[in-house]
Structure 1
Amino acid sequence: MFATAWVTGASSGIGRATALRLAAQGVRVAASARSEAKLAELALEAERLGGSIATYPLDVTDLDACRTTVRRIEAGVGPVDLALFVAGTDAPMGGADYSAETAARVMAVNYQGTANCLDAVLPVLRERRHGRIGVTASVAGYRGFPGFAAYSPSKAALIALCESLHGDLRRDGIRLSVINPWFVRTPLSEGARSPVPFAITPERAAREIVRGLQRDCFEILVPPEIAGQLKAGRALPDAVYLPLSRVLGAVRSAWP
């Protein structure tokens, strides 16, 4: 099990649920997100469950702030042996409303924000030649989803990043996992005009993620029975996949 974990995107959804699950298992958790108020609520909830979470407000798009946060965590909580990067954002975008500004904003958080966190934590893990990193991508990164023209590319980039780094980091004693979830029930999804099929709770996602990290899986499918089927879509020829993708476009169109 892990001793000290740094979790980004911890104010809601998967990040929040996973931070609480780790804290309940006795892990010293350092939680980061932009909202100080939500982080304070998270710390109180962890205390109620018998755990402990230290909060470190952070905008992951700020590289210097990421580096400073790691130094503060190492000094105040302990040597990080698990870094779990969950912070992310989304914005519906397709051909009709394509915007370079929207694409850049989503990429800045989802991809560059993760790259910043990696830059901040890798030196301490490499020096100790020990540690685990979990990067949250998405099944939407397997192939382009209609209506996800900002989100899907950012998650595809994270999958490729993890595949590129895995071998080098393993030689340095660092284990890297890419986490690919299906849709998770959040306040946003609860406002959808129609329900997303097989959407899972953040608590279910957290359980699958922690189990996958403990088993040293490179790819963690969340949940495996749904995400695994979508992964198979990577092998479909374009003539088959592109018409099928319209179904996924209907899921996006149901979003508020």
Structure 2
Amino acid sequence: MKKPACILITGASGSIGGALAREYAAPGVTLILHGRNQALLDALAVECEQRGASARVFGFDVRDTARLQAWARQVSAEMPLDLVIANAGMNIDIGAQGQGERWEDVEALLDTNVRAVLALVDAVLPVMRARRSGQIALVSSLAAYFGLPVTPSYCASKAAIKAYGEGLRGWLATEGIRVNVVMPGYVESPMCESMPGPKPFQVTAARAASLIRLGLQKNQARISFPFPLNLGTWFLAVLPAGVSTRIVRWLGYGG
């Protein structure tokens, strides 16, 4: 499997997205970096170019799916995308007093974490299918295995991406297109720090990016880490739901 030379990353102004850009930045690599924080994107582009890569930045909200698709189609037409990493995401929770998620926040989360991901894939897939090559990484979460009471909508959105990616992988495997579902645990970031509950086995963004890159090189169906948390969340999915609910409350995620 050749090393990707042209890589598109959404959410590159976030911790994992930025770390992925740095991980891939090297001579001969073109990085297409999307995010909402233009200042962070510009600084990231400079850093990546210092490592020898060519970087182009684009700042807009992925919830504008018409703009997202027009942009992705234009980029796909201009250069062959070897790897697309759908990483942009957000999180909400039920609040410190358990007051519940606001509907407008739920809509924003679903538009960002689910609708925008599907729209991006829809836009880049035709060119990949025509040339019968390419790789798509969809960033889900270990939270996709079992819904946590403190972040129900976030867990639902990541479960949707997990199922979507697994379905795409089975569909597109015979066409030479690799699809991988990335399922991190807790990764050091402002978004992670704002999440309620304990954060066991937390890893740095740089470590997460290294593990993701290795998993994509190996074309792993699920790139899930760290191992202890991955095993634990998987067990939550296979145990009786009543038992799992009691376990997550005992661990401090009860809301």
Q: Quick check: TM above 0.5?
A: yes
For residues 97 and 176 of structure 1, do their structure 2 counterparts lie closer, same or farther at Cα, with a shift above 3 Å needed? Answer: same
- Other-structure match for 2:93: 92
Measure the CA separation in 1 of the matches of 2:139 and 2:39. Answer: 23
What letter corresponds to residue 12 of structure 2 in structure 1? A
Measure the CA separation in 2 of the matches of 1:199 and 1:72. Answer: 37
Aligned-residue offset at 1:113 = 1.1
SS of the residue aligned with 1:60? coil
**Structure 2 matches for 1:4-83, cutoff 5 A?**
4-24=6-26, 26-74=28-76, 78-83=79-84
Give the stretch that moved more between structures: 183-192 or 135-144. Answer: 183-192
Measure the CA separation in 2 of the matches of 1:126 and 1:193. Answer: 41
Q: Is the 8 A contact 2:150 2:196 kept in 1?
A: no
For residues 194 and 241 of structure 1, do their structure 2 counterparts lie closer, same or farther at Cα, with a shift above 3 Å needed? Answer: closer
What letter corresponds to residue 161 of structure 2 in structure 1? L
Aligned-residue CA RMSD (Å): 2.2
Unaligned ranges ≥5, structure 1: none
Q: Does 1:229 align with 2:232?
A: yes
Deviations along 1:53-73, one digit per CA (max 9) or x if unpaired, are 211223222222122222442
Unaligned ranges ≥5, structure 2: none
Aligned-residue offset at 1:188 = 4.5
Give the stretch that moved more between structures: 28-37 or 81-90. Answer: 28-37
Measure the CA separation in 2 of the matches of 1:62 and 1:172. Answer: 30
For residues 203 and 159 of structure 1, do their structure 2 counterparts lie closer, same or farther at Cα, with a shift above 3 Å needed? Answer: same
Aligned-residue offset at 1:226 = 2.5
Measure the CA separation in 1 of the matches of 2:161 and 2:225. Answer: 16
Q: Does 1:137 align with 2:116?
A: no
Identical aligned residues as a percent: 35
What letter corresponds to residue 102 of structure 1 in structure 2? D
Aligned-residue offset at 1:83 = 0.5
Q: State the TM-score, normalized to the length of structure 2.
A: 0.90
What letter corresponds to residue 21 of structure 1 in structure 2? E
- Other-structure match for 1:106: 109
Q: Is the 8 A contact 2:27 2:52 kept in 1?
A: no
Give the stretch that moved more between structures: 112-121 or 88-97. Answer: 88-97
Q: State the TM-score, normalized to the length of structure 1.
A: 0.89
For residues 93 and 237 of structure 1, do their structure 2 counterparts lie closer, same or farther at Cα, with a shift above 3 Å needed? Answer: same
For residues 143 and 25 of structure 1, do their structure 2 counterparts lie closer, same or farther at Cα, with a shift above 3 Å needed? Answer: farther
Q: Is the 8 A contact 1:58 1:69 kept in 2?
A: no
SS of the residue aligned with 1:89? coil
Deviations along 1:92-111, one digit per CA (max 9) or x if unpaired, are 12763243322222111000
Give the stretch that moved more between structures: 198-207 or 187-196. Answer: 187-196
What letter corresponds to residue 130 of structure 2 in structure 1? E
For residues 233 and 123 of structure 1, do their structure 2 counterparts lie closer, same or farther at Cα, with a shift above 3 Å needed? Answer: same
What letter corresponds to residue 182 of structure 2 in structure 1? I
Deviations along 1:167-200, one digit per CA (max 9) or x if unpaired, are 1111222110000000111134457898622111
- Other-structure match for 1:246: 249
Q: Is the 8 A contact 2:109 2:154 kept in 1?
A: yes
What letter corresponds to residue 243 of structure 1 in structure 2? R
Count of aligned pairs between the two proteins: 251
Aligned-residue offset at 1:211 = 0.3
- Other-structure match for 2:149: 146
- Other-structure match for 1:207: 210
